[in-house]
Structure 1
């Protein structure tokens, strides 16, 4: 299979890599993660100026009309830079959710601001008891007058405290019955929203989000469809959005893995033991060769995920995404652990970027379903 990129795609990758190399060095990142928002608004605007935030926005709404391959290239560059900004949350998941579910009027109102970096939106979807079952949503939307009342609890919401807009996934409810899935666009200052902010192990600002009798107008539901019409379309669209996010995070992992391998090889060349660089020790060469094999397998599966994440055949798409997450999850764990061990005790210090790559890869292995979860899922599909 030909994995070469078009001229435009290669330019996108080169431009993003140059920006990260110039504006997002490790010392700069250390300062960024201590800012109140946990990321840099200046860098975010820089992404907007480069057009990176517009990739997943249709051209008719001020975007570039790109797709999973363009997203893959950007995410790999961001992964190499350990970027803390909410690119996955806002520029991928939220932008694609609005594009897929919103009416023409809603897209016109929301997408240009997302593409220009004027607003940040996040998809409030994960819940404490779902355990990787994305359809097991307990948050409810109860009809009341000319709108809905939302109740529920969303868990580990990346950048939830900084988001201007929350795209809340719910089940429409009536007379105590669970209904079809719906997504509501809820402004951050809506009464009844309660947040508990914290920082995840990989340095990403996140929060728990409670919706305590949050009233929103009917127009806040993306698509403005009735409970009768919303079921199949919203379920299918959200599945595609989440698979696009999974493909994006696989690409981010590959970028981080490449950078971690390069740092480990350089350290092995510089570190001397018994008067010789440890890179000359055959046992350590074998370890680094195994790291290379894992990364190349992960790269191929990231390409597969990008190609298959929009496949209309749900079963084929699901199998491809699970296969990619298994291989990439295993690579995240193996390469991360080997890098830390080869660096010794300094590999877990906060002053060295290796420890931050290790923690980010550990988090990626768990996001959108762990490797173990997807292995079981893939095996069940084969059975």
Structure 2
């Protein structure tokens, strides 16, 4: 299998790396965190101008028709720069639902606004007792005359404060943990009956708890089958997991670089600490963990297009396990090798550790995905 980037992919990597090199140093990031919603609208427009927001959409809809490898390239760059902007909830998740399940009318309404940067989305899925099970849904969607009525609460909705449209999972029939009877709905964030409570997360992003009190929406708001949308949800979330794996690889890569640079410059007892053999061994362990994570991230990316859903789920779960393990090792070692300074808010390295910790828990932590892998048997094709 050829793992080399094509010429177009190399140009994309150079472009996105160059964009963040000039607009996203650590001090700039801290300023962006103070803006409304916790991210920079100016940077978002620059992403739009470079075509990054339209990357996965079809050319006839104004996009570039790019694939999962291109998304991986962008997400790794986002991870290296600790980017705050809502690329994952808007382009990867929101765009995924529209591409895989949206009607022509829904795509015509939302895709151009995503591509030009005038609209962001948020995925409202997590509930108070659902943990990581996508089918554990209590938020209800009752059929009404001319549409639906949505009732319930969603928690930790990333970009929930700024999103113009919420993508909401709700139960149209059945019991709480039934795998059928689940629908996906596009709901304007300003619809009557919606209350949004925003707050910062540990890694510097902004999330919100969103309550729906008898929110009335039309039939045009339904994405796909309102009674059997779980396969669509699982496919889009697996794409999000693969994207998060790529972001984590970027964050781990930068963490290792920062740590090695620190070892080469910090002096103790009159000598560079990078000359201590034990610390060199720890840095080598970090490098091995990074390359293991990079390989599994590639496996997840390549599995997204698999025709066999079980094969896709298995590969993505295995990648998430390795990402969690590598992220923990690299994060902990980078903090320890930096010493006390690594624990301060002023040290960039600590923010990478926080982001890696949050990525490990997003859409299923290491233990959850390890169980998924063990239940499915040996990796298909390996």
TM-score, with length taken from structure 1: 0.95
2:345 aligned partner: 350
2:202 aligned partner: 201
Matched, 1:214 2:215: yes
1:11 aligned partner: 11
- Cα distance change, pair 290–169 in 1 and its aligned pair in 2 (3 A): same
Shift of 1:235: 2.2
2:154 aligned partner: 154
Counterpart mapping for 1:338-377 below 5 A:
338-377=333-372
Cα distance in 2, alignment partners of residues 239 and 310 from structure 1: 13
Shift of 1:275: 1.3
Instruction: Provide, for residues 185-219 of structure 1, a one-character-per-residue CA deviation record: whole Å limited to 9, x for no partner.
Output: 11111011111211110011001111111111111
Shift of 1:291: 0.1
Cα distance in 1, alignment partners of residues 273 and 176 from structure 2: 66
Secondary structure of the 1:173 match is coil
Moved over 4 A (4+): 174-179
**8 Å contact 1:240–1:310 — kept in the other structure?**
no
Cα distance in 2, alignment partners of residues 5 and 174 from structure 1: 47
Cα distance in 1, alignment partners of residues 104 and 202 from structure 2: 39
Instruction: Provide, for residues 297-327 of structure 1, a one-character-per-residue CA deviation record: whole Å limited to 9, x for no partner.
Output: 0000110010002322122111101110011
Instruction: Provide, for residues 238-262 of structure 1, a one-character-per-residue CA deviation record: whole Å limited to 9, x for no partner.
Output: 2111110000000000000010100
1:257 aligned partner: 252
Cα distance in 2, alignment partners of residues 135 and 49 from structure 1: 37
Matched, 1:300 2:301: no
**8 Å contact 1:139–1:171 — kept in the other structure?**
yes
Secondary structure of the 2:119 match is coil
Counterpart mapping for 1:327-342 below 5 A:
327-342=322-337
Matched, 1:191 2:192: yes
Counterpart mapping for 1:53-202 below 5 A:
53-173=53-173, 180-202=181-203
**8 Å contact 2:174–2:181 — kept in the other structure?**
no
Shift of 1:118: 1.0
Shift of 1:175: 11
Shift of 1:173: 3.2
The number of residues matched between the two structures is 377
Cα distance in 2, alignment partners of residues 139 and 113 from structure 1: 28
Cα distance in 2, alignment partners of residues 109 and 56 from structure 1: 17
Structure 1, unmatched stretches of 5+, are none
**8 Å contact 2:165–2:188 — kept in the other structure?**
yes
Shift of 1:177: 12
TM-score, with length taken from structure 2: 0.96
C-alpha RMSD over aligned residues: 1.6
- Cα distance change, pair 19–174 in 1 and its aligned pair in 2 (3 A): same
Cα distance in 2, alignment partners of residues 175 and 369 from structure 1: 22
Shift of 1:134: 1.0
**8 Å contact 1:244–1:310 — kept in the other structure?**
no
